């Protein structure tokens, strides 16, 4: 009698042990019934190629095993993507259903979060996992003291100084200028004047010197420069935004951009400053580390003359005597609120994507920086640098970017209502003013006014004061809304 019931019980125990070996997913993910996660992003060119390759790798391996299929779609620029997200939220006619995940800067995520649509990813991450990421990158996605994570960092960038070494070497040999000057904004301003005068001396035509320097993302110069000089322009505390637009600090920024610009020492001509290097109108510029793939390998002059150039990268310049600071930028990923199973699946992909192996591949291929602390380990970096070529632009870019992340104070403004518009004011106010006034100076010179007299009409206290008051009023109006 005993033998008859013991055998079925033992069989049941054996079966339960076997099935117990199959680790059950806590949120119900299954290889037999996979969940599809859609991602909208703004990557293009080599960045899109690298992202798509990694998505395919995930789907064929980790995703297949866990029951996750990722579908990624490019939706144009970051601004175009933002517009499409708005249309989908508003359910406009012809709009697509919202994705599970989309690329976004914190200001956009803050806006979406105010609608109650951003998922909190903290419950899908252990404290040890959170601690693996660069603290500043993870903190950016926390909008309050609750510890809720609304933005997942997947790839970051900062800024870097890129120089046409071929033309720099000719200039340095002729004038005795050294690379040391490229470490400060004051040095850049002085060298740019020297370069203008040197190129002017090469021809008999007066005042035909060339600009030396330009920069992309001008708001970064304003925000980071002001921070270095002791004033955080937008300080957000307890949900309130305080404006610190210090006049003396703005004058320092003015003297190291507006003044050299209207003198012809700085310039901006094409859509991006890398375009200006390609046409020979600039020798150096500051731009995002993620833009290294677009730095030209040759210069084509207006007369059609073309020659190859070599580039050299340098850390972002700082103001003399200040603590090194740099912007922390690069969109993260926001997961829309849905059922836990979908949020969890999306987070699993993002965690996989930011594992060192995958993240380093994306970094090398795209110009972005990996987001985990372990990426700063030189031994771990060696195989990736060797594959890319230790002396290549991609390797230089990565090493300087990582050094900046480790040695500089990384900063990004906390999101606030109207933050994107306030940043746009900083991005354009001085740039437009400088360009318009430079054109006025050129007109005066065409009318016979000598260069020194024409410039003197604009580099005045009154001109700065007017610009300062106008810009302050615009910022105050946005923050006071």
Burial (Cβ within 10 Å: 0-12, 13-18, ≥19) of residue 52: middle
Phi, psi torsion values for 65, nearest 5 degrees: -65, -35
pLDDT of residue 23: 55
pLDDT digits (tens, 9 = 90+) for 327-372: 999 899 999 999 999 999 999 999 999 998 899 888 887 888 999 9
159-327+416-479 matches 21-154+332-406 in CATH topology = yes
Closest-CA residue to 171 (of 193, 198, 144, 152): 198
pLDDT of residue 22: 42
Query: Which of these CATH numbers, 3.40.50.300, 3.40.190.10, 3.30.420.40, 3.30.300.30, describes 21-154+332-406?
Result: 3.40.190.10
pLDDT of residue 394: 79
Bridge partners (DSSP) of residue 41 are: 74
The residues near 9 (Cβ < 8 Å, ≥ 6 apart) are: none
CA distances in angstroms from 100 to 20, 116, 167, 365, listed in the order given: 31, 15, 48, 25
| Domain 159-327+416-479, CATH homologous superfamily name and number | Periplasmic binding protein-like II (3.40.190.10)
Helix runs in 335-392, H state only: 340-353, 356-366, 378-388
Where do the domains of the chain lie? 21-154+332-406, 159-327+416-479
Contact 40, 96 (CB under 8 A): no
Helix runs in 22-76, H state only: 45-60, 62-66
Bridge partners (DSSP) of residue 101 are: 39, 335
pLDDT of residue 389: 72
pLDDT of residue 379: 79
Bridge partners (DSSP) of residue 266 are: 213
**Per-residue pLDDT for the chain (481 aa), expressed as one digit of tens each?**
344 444 444 444 444 333 333 456 788 899 999 999 999 999 998 889 999 999 999 999 999 999 999 999 999 999 999 999 999 999 999 999 999 999 999 999 999 999 999 999 999 999 999 999 999 899 999 988 888 999 999 999 999 999 999 999 999 999 999 999 999 999 999 999 999 999 999 999 999 999 999 999 999 999 999 999 999 999 988 778 999 999 999 999 999 999 999 999 999 999 999 999 999 999 999 999 988 878 899 999 999 999 999 999 999 999 999 999 999 998 999 999 999 999 999 999 999 999 988 998 888 878 889 999 988 887 787 787 787 776 777 788 888 998 998 899 999 988 898 998 999 999 999 999 999 999 999 999 999 999 999 999 999 999 999 999 999 999 999 998 7
Contact 222, 246 (CB under 8 A): no
């Amino acid at each position: 009698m005993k033998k008859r019931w013991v055998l079925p019980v033992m069989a049941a125990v054996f079966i339960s042990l076997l099935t117990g070996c199959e680790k059950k997913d806590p949120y119900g993910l299954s290889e037999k019934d996979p969940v599809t996660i859609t991602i909208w992003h703004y990557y293009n060119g080599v960045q899109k190629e690298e992202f798509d390759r990694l998505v395919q790798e995930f789907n064929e391996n980790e995703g297949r095993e866990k029951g996750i299929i990722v579908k990624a779609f490019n939706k144009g620029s970051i601004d175009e993507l933002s517009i499409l997200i708005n249309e989908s939220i508003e359910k406009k006619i012809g709009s697509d259903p919202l994705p599970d995940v989309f690329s976004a800067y914190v200001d956009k995520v803050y806006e979406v979060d105010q609608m109650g649509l951003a998922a909190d990813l903290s419950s899908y991450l252990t404290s040890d996992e959170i601690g693996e990421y660069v603290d500043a990158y993870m903190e950016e996605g926390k909008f309050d003291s609750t510890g809720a994570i609304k933005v997942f960092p997947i790839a970051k960038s900062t800024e870097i100084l890129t120089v046409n070494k071929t033309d720099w070497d000719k200039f340095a040999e002729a004038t005795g200028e050294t690379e040391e000057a490229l470490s400060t904004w004051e040095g850049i301003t002085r060298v740019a004047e020297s370069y203008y005068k040197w190129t002017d001396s090469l021809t008999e035509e007066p005042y035909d010197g060339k600009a030396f320097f330009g920069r992309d993302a001008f708001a970064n110069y304003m925000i980071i420069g002001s921070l270095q000089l002791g004033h955080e322009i937008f300080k957000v505390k307890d949900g309130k935004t305080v404006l610190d637009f210090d006049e003396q600090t703005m004058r320092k920024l003015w003297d190291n951009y507006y003044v050299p610009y209207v003198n012809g020492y700085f310039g901006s001509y094409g859509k991006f400053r890398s375009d200006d290097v390609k046409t020979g109108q600039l020798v150096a510029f500051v731009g995002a580390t993620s833009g290294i793939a677009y730095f030209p390998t040759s210069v084509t002059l207006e007369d059609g003359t073309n020659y190859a150039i070599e580039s050299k990268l340098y850390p972002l310049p700082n103001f003399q005597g200040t603590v090194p600071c740099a912007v922390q930028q690069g969109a993260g990923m926001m997961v829309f609120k849905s059922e836990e199973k979908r949020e969890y699946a999306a987070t699993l992909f993002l965690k996989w994507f930011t594992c060192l192996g995958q993240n380093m591949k994306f970094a090398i291929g795209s110009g972005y920086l990996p987001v985990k602390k372990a990426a700063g380990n030189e031994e771990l970096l060696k195989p990736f640098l060797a594959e890319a070529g230790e002396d290549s632009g991609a390797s230089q870019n990565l090493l300087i970017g990582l050094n900046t992340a480790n040695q500089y104070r990384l900063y990004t403004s906390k999101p606030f209502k109207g933050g994107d518009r306030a940043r746009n004011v900083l991005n354009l106010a001085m740039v437009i003013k400088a360009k318009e006034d430079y054109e006025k100076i050129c007109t005066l010179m065409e009318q016979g006014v000598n260069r020194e007299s024409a410039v003197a009409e604009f580099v005045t206290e009154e001109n700065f004061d007017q610009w300062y008051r106008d810009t302050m009023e615009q910022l105050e109006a946005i923050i006071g809304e």
